[in-house]
Amino acid sequence: METLKPIPPKSASTDVNPLFTYIDSKDYDSIINQNNVPRIFNRGGIFICLAGEGYVTINEHKYPLSARTMCVAFPGTIIQEFKRGEGFESYTLRIDTDFLRDLNFPSAPSVHMMMRENPCMVLSEEQLESILQVCRMMHDRDKRTDHPYYEQINAQMLTLLCYELAGVYARDIPVMSEPRSRQDVIFRKFLSLLATDITISREVQYYADKLCITPKYLTIVTRQMSNRSAATWITHSVILNAKALLATTQLTVQQVSNKLNFPNPSFFGQYFLRHTGMTPKEFRRSKKQ
């Protein structure tokens, strides 16, 4: 199998294509967990281990890494730890994962949820080569910045990659015969809003207003699609972010409270205690022990 030869990453000043960007492995430490601070991704991406072993902690779950392991990150994904051993080789591409969310085929909602809940998969040799082959084509087409349809071609190439990624997961779930419903669209937009706006508001009303629906209807939709209420999804996202900050940073409880937009540390402590059974300080001590 031919090994992908990465091209140098573009600088911010020359990156005329926001859809995808190659990330060099030498930049991992500064990007992922500099000073042991968790990385909350604003954009998505794919990471593939090509050789060697290591591990990554994503949203509080630890995943072993070995050859052909692929990880998919969405906006809001929290990388808490990343370790690699001798001989570790990998490939990383930051991509606009809205393309994954908006793929238009019957089982898209189920595939999208499965990818979020199972971010790491071990690829077969055939799957790995298919994905890397598309990445090679993306690199080649991306160099042609003077092409009159440069952006349109790159958008199509990214769509092709997203279908390849979705295909890895689609094999493991039944294909739904129903077309994508309005509820599917609302639920996926809600998840995207949670990833970007969770530090702005914890109110169902806020997200319902953003989606131009009522809070009651939003809760009905989330229960239909995931057996969870909208409020439960919001709480889960807040607590996940709070735990990551408390466990892997030196931020004070007050700083964590401020970062998550709580009115004061006391309110944050009560909220955290109610949903975890521990105070923020008790949780931090338990992680240190």
**Amino acid present at 285:** R
Yes or no: say if 284 and 247 are a contact pair by the CB < 8 Å rule.
yes
The pLDDT-based confidence of 9 (bands split at 50, 70, 90) is: very low
User: What are phi and psi for residue 288, nearest 5 degrees?
Assistant: -70, -35
Yes or no: say if 93 and 46 are a contact pair by the CB < 8 Å rule.
yes
- Return the pLDDT at 256: 93
Taking 60 as the threshold, does the pLDDT of residue 15 lie above it?
A: no
Rounded to 5°, angle at Cα 274 from 271 and 279: 75
**Amino acid present at 215:** P
Question: Which pair of tokens denotes residue 201?
Answer: 């508001």
DSSP the chain: -PPP-PPPPPPTTT----SEEEE-GGGHHHHH-GGGPPEE-SSEEEEEEEES-EEEEETTEEEEE-TTEEEEE-TT-EEEEEEE-TT-EEEEEEE-THHHHT--STTHHHHHHHHHH--EEEPPHHHHHHHHHHHHHHHHHHT-TTSTTHHHHHHHHHHHHHHHHHHHHHTTSPPP-SPPPHHHHHHHHHHHHHHHHTTT---HHHHHHHHTS-HHHHHHHHHHHHSS-HHHHHHHHHHHHHHHHHHH----HHHHHHHTT-S-HHHHHHHHHHHHSS-HHHHHHHHH-
pLDDT tens string 111-127: 777 888 888 988 999 99
State the average pLDDT for the chain.
Answer: 81
- Return the pLDDT at 25: 64
Residue with token string 């001590």: 285
Question: Which pair of tokens denotes residue 191?
Answer: 């998840």
pLDDT tens string 251-267: 899 999 999 999 999 99
- Return the pLDDT at 183: 86
Rg (CA), the chain: 20
pLDDT tens string 151-204: 899 889 888 998 898 888 887 654 444 445 788 778 878 887 887 788 899 999
Sketch out the chain's domains with CATH numbers. 20-170 (2.60.120), 182-288 (1.10.10.60)
pLDDT top residue among 217 and 101: 217
Determine if the pTM surpasses 0.85.
Answer: no
The pLDDT-based confidence of 250 (bands split at 50, 70, 90) is: confident
Dist CA 142 CA 148 (whole Å): 12
